[in-house]
């Protein structure tokens, strides 16, 4: 029983006891007063009758008349006139009627008996007779009954008002306890909330202030761990001059994109090399040359900020060499990208390069999953060499394969629209298990496959870029959600489903998705929706999204985490189910100590708010063993299990 209920019941019990005692005391006081009045009434009647009968004591007819007149005019049980010498009754009148307005149980309870009085009738100096009068309690009972009803009604009204006011007062005074409970529950959900309104009650004020101090301390510790982890990430994977990724991050990203996975797709690698960097240093000085390199980095950053390019990576390898990794870039869009890049480079022409020589040359090479990194980089180097050898053109391209050149926009549009219209999406499931051995299943990641007209199964990495290019990502997300909910209706089990950036950006699409979730509350406990770290909306919108999803009963997770570690400070208000660490920081973690240090920093930050970590793209036993040693909760990848249709 809650403290509020206990205090309220205690107050009610106290009021009942107090009002009962007051009621009994009031009734008893009224009873004694009425008994006294009955005795006085009887005695007064006896005295008056005695005085009236003195002249007529020897006239029986007159005595009877006078007794009858007094008896009929008052509340008497009996009136007797008794001759004193022989106690013979001269006249006697009595009645046995009871009050009809007073319940018998009340009359028995108060126990008011008739009260008597007497007076002597004198004949000269002799006692001739005696008058005996008994007052009837009917009038007293009626008065006492009415008084008891009035007192009871007043006490009940006072008790009801006191209970209402007391309950309201208790609730208002104890409301900080409810907010503290919510605060503690929020901490268990990995949310740090402070109570802005401090109660006036000294005892509660101290407790609330202590809770707020604890929450602020936890937030400070969490922020310190996040800042330390972000610094480690910058030192390990970021170029200090341009803010782009460094060569190490580029090598890791390229290797991951060349892995044959469900999300793998073809794309292009661009190499950019500043011409005559040594000469620029001599002519312009180190400071202006650094400014030129920083301007090129800013140009690449602006290109990556455009919609649909969140998966791309721009990096500075060394000196004046830059790389741009563009997975999912279509063949027909390469020239548009190059034109935009060259236009930006031309604006830097006046910084010190000669009028006849471009600021930089570009070498472009296509890549596809399954290739070796050295093969792709070698092809890009060859294209760069061709560009540098041809003064008429500042860029060159090497394509040893056509990718999917035979499948144009029209083909993909037809296939995808047909699959979405006819509900022909096929669900694949990839297991996610604990790192600790023996492995325990956590959930399954839901992936999609399409079938082309020839019946070939198309992995998500091939058609998702076209889905985004066609602007059908919200439509695809909603179709996937409907398929998942239908699957859960038949096979309840924990699942995780990704949401695209377009769904998060468009309020109408997000509203449809939330409405769909609310229509299926039975499946809420089994499904967690995942958002990509690279596609997160602004903090306020993200918090509103988290609240909407969790209000519908579903969970929210964050995938591909690690590239923007500074965001971790905003995660304390979201109540996330887990974080999935990007496979970039997992690959070969058993062999590279800096990755291990970075994951340790992430674990310390998230462990302070009890937020589970799940590693993506785990490929070897060594990686899994290292993750288990670091305390990572779960893992997924080819080592754990490849995506497959539901096996039942």
Q: What is the 3-state secondary structure (H, E, C) of 563-606?
A: CCHHHHHHHHHCCCCCEEECHHHCCCCCCCHHHHHHHHHHHHHH
> Is 211 a member of any domain?
no
Q: Is the dihedral of CA 13, 18, 22, 25 positive or negative?
A: positive
Query: Given a cut of 90, is residue 484 above it in pLDDT?
Result: yes
Highest mean pLDDT among 222-231, 252-261, 293-302, 393-402: 293-302
CA 216 vs. chain centroid, Å, equals: 19
Helices and strands (H, E) in the chain, number of each type? 18, 19
User: Which is higher by pLDDT, 83 or 100?
Assistant: 83
Average pLDDT, the chain: 82
- Average pLDDT rounded to a whole number, residues 472-480: 91
> Is 228 a member of any domain?
no
> Is 95 a member of any domain?
yes
Lowest mean pLDDT among 310-314, 376-380, 405-409: 405-409
Query: Given a cut of 50, is residue 482 above it in pLDDT?
Result: yes
pLDDT digits (tens, 9 = 90+) for 86-145: 878 888 888 765 556 778 777 777 777 777 888 888 877 778 888 888 887 777 777 778
CATH number, domain at 25? 3.30.110.200
Query: Given a cut of 60, is residue 355 above it in pLDDT?
Result: no
**Residue 552 per-residue DSSP state:** T
Q: Are strands 313-318 and 245-246 parallel, antiparallel or unpaired?
A: parallel
User: Which is higher by pLDDT, 75 or 502?
Assistant: 502
Decide if 574 contacts 192 (C-beta within 8 A): no
Decide if 404 contacts 418 (C-beta within 8 A): no
Question: What pLDDT does residue 477 have?
Answer: 92
Surface-to-core class of residue 516, CB atoms within 10 Å of its CB (0-12 exposed, 13-18 middle, 19+ buried): middle
Decide if 488 contacts 527 (C-beta within 8 A): yes
CB atoms within 10 A of CB 136: 23
Q: How confident is the model at residue 260 (pLDDT cuts 50, 70, 90)?
A: low
326 shares a domain with 469: no
477 shares a domain with 614: yes
Question: What pLDDT does residue 403 have?
Answer: 43
> Is 353 a member of any domain?
yes
pLDDT digits (tens, 9 = 90+) for 591-605: 888 788 888 888 887
Domain boundary among 356, 376, 398: 398
Decide if 323 contacts 315 (C-beta within 8 A): yes
Q: Are strands 76-83 and 245-246 parallel, antiparallel or unpaired?
A: unpaired
- Average pLDDT rounded to a whole number, residues 292-312: 85
Question: What pLDDT does residue 353 have?
Answer: 45
Question: What pLDDT does residue 410 have?
Answer: 74
146 shares a domain with 42: yes
392 shares a domain with 479: no
Do you find a cis peptide bond into 274, omega within 30 degrees of 0?
no
DSSP string for 163-209? HHHHHHHHHHHHHHHHHHHHHHHHHHTT-----SS--SSHHHHHHHH
Query: Given a cut of 60, is residue 245 above it in pLDDT?
Result: yes
Query: Given a cut of 70, is residue 188 above it in pLDDT?
Result: no
Range of the domain at 391: 264-398
> Is 426 a member of any domain?
yes
> Is 149 a member of any domain?
yes
596 shares a domain with 479: yes
CATH number, domain at 563? 3.20.20.450
- Average pLDDT rounded to a whole number, residues 459-483: 87
465 shares a domain with 392: no
> Is 193 a member of any domain?
no
Those residues whose C-beta lies under 8 Å from the C-beta of residue 584, and which sit 6 or more positions away, are 249, 252, 253, 256, 562, 563
Decide if 634 contacts 433 (C-beta within 8 A): yes
282 shares a domain with 138: no
Domain boundary among 376, 398, 420: 398
571 shares a domain with 443: yes
620 shares a domain with 498: yes
- Average pLDDT rounded to a whole number, residues 9-25: 79
**Distance (Å, whole) CA 346 – CA 306:** 20
Query: Given a cut of 90, is residue 513 above it in pLDDT?
Result: yes
624 shares a domain with 512: yes
Question: What pLDDT does residue 430 have?
Answer: 93
Question: What pLDDT does residue 485 have?
Answer: 93
Selection from 197, 148, 141, 196 nearest residue 172 by Cα: 197
**Distance (Å, whole) CA 12 – CA 144:** 27
- Average pLDDT rounded to a whole number, residues 332-344: 86
375 shares a domain with 301: yes
Decide if 500 contacts 465 (C-beta within 8 A): no
Domain boundary among 110, 133, 160: 160
Q: What six digits make up the tokens of 320?
A: 């004046």
CATH number, domain at 367? 3.30.70.270
Residue in this structure with the two tokens 């009929």, named with its chain if needed: 72
Q: Give the 3-state secondary structure of residue 101.
A: coil
> Is 251 a member of any domain?
no
Among residues of the chain, what percentage have pLDDT more than 90? 18
**pTM for this predicted structure:** 0.64
Total count of domains within the chain: 3
454 shares a domain with 370: no
Q: Are strands 321-327 and 360-367 parallel, antiparallel or unpaired?
A: unpaired
CB atoms within 10 A of CB 296: 24
- Average pLDDT rounded to a whole number, residues 180-203: 72
């Amino acid at each position: 029983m809650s403290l509020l209920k206990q205090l309220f019941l205690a107050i009610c019990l106290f009021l009942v006891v107090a009002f009962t005692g007051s009621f009994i005391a009031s009734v008893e006081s009224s009873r004694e007063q009425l008994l006294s009045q009955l005795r006085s009434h009887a005695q007064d009647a006896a005295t008056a009758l005695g005085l009236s009968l003195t002249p007529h004591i020897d006239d029986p007819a007159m005595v009877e008349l006078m007794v009858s007149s007094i008896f009929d005019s008052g509340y008497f049980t009996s009136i007797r006139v008794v001759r004193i010498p022989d106690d013979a009754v001269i006249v006697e009148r009595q009645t046995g009627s009871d009050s009809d307005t007073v319940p018998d149980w009340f009359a028995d309870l108060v126990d008011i008996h008739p009260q008597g009085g007497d007076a002597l009738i004198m004949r000269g100096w002799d006692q001739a007779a005696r008058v005996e009068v008994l007052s009837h309690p009917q009038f007293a009972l009626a008065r006492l009954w009415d008084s008891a009803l009035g007192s009871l009604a007043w006490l009940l009204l006072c008790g009801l008002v006191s209970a209402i006011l007391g309950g309201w007062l208790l609730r208002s005074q104890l409301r900080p306890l409810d907010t503290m409970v919510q605060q503690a529950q929020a901490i268990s959900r990995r949310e740090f909330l402070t109570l802005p309104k401090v109660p006036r009650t000294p005892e509660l004020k101290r407790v609330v202030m202590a809770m707020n101090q604890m929450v602020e301390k936890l937030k400070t510790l969490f922020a310190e761990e996040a800042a330390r982890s972000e610094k480690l990430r910058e030192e390990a994977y970021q170029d200090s001059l341009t803010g782009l990724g460094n060569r190490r991050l580029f090598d890791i990203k390229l290797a991951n994109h060349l892995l044959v996975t469900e999300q793998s797709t073809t794309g292009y690698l661009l190499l950019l090399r500043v011409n005559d960097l040594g000469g620029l240093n001599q002519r312009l000085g180190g400071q202006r040359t650094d400014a030129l390199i920083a301007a090129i980095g800013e140009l690449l950053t602006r290109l990556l900020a455009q919609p649909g390019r969140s998966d791309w990576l721009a990096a500075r390898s060394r000196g004046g060499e830059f790389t741009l990794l563009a997975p999912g870039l279509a063949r027909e869009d390469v020239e548009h990208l190059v034109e935009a890049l060259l236009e930006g480079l031309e604006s830097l022409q006046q910084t010190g390069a000669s009028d006849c020589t471009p600021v930089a040359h570009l070498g472009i090479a296509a890549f596809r999953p399954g290739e070796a990194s050295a093969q792709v980089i070698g092809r890009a180097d060859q294209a760069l060499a061709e560009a540098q050898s041809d003064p008429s053109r500042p860029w060159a391209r090497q394509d040893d394969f056509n990718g999917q050149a035979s499948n144009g926009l029209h083909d993909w549009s037809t296939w995808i629209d047909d699959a979405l219209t006819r509900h022909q999406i096929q669900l694949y499931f990839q297991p996610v298990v604990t790192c600790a051995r023996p492995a325990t299943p956590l959930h399954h990641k839901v992936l999609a496959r399409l079938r082309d007209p020839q019946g070939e199964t198309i992995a998500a990495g091939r058609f998702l870029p076209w889905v985004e290019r066609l602007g059908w990502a919200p439509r695809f997300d909603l179709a996937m959600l409907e398929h998942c909910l239908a699957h859960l209706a038949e096979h309840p089990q924990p699942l995780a489903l990704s949401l695209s950036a377009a769904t998060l950006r468009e309020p109408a699409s997000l509203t449809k998705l939330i409405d769909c979730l609310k229509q299926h509350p039975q499946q809420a406990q089994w499904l967690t929706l995942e958002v990509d770290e690279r596609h997160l909306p602004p903090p306020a919108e993200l918090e509103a999204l988290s609240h909407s999803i969790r209000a519908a009963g579903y969970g929210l997770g964050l995938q591909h985490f690690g590239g923007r570690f500074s965001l971790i400070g905003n995660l304390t208000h979201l109540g996330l189910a887990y974080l999935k660490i990007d496979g970039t920081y997992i690959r070969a973690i058993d062999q590279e100590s800096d990755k291990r240090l970075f994951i340790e920093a992430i674990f310390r930050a998230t462990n302070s708010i009890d937020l589970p970590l799940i590693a993506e793209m785990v490929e070897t036993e060594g990686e899994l063993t290292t993750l288990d040693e670091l305390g990572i909760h779960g893992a997924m990848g080819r080592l754990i299990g490849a995506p497959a249709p539901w096996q039942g």
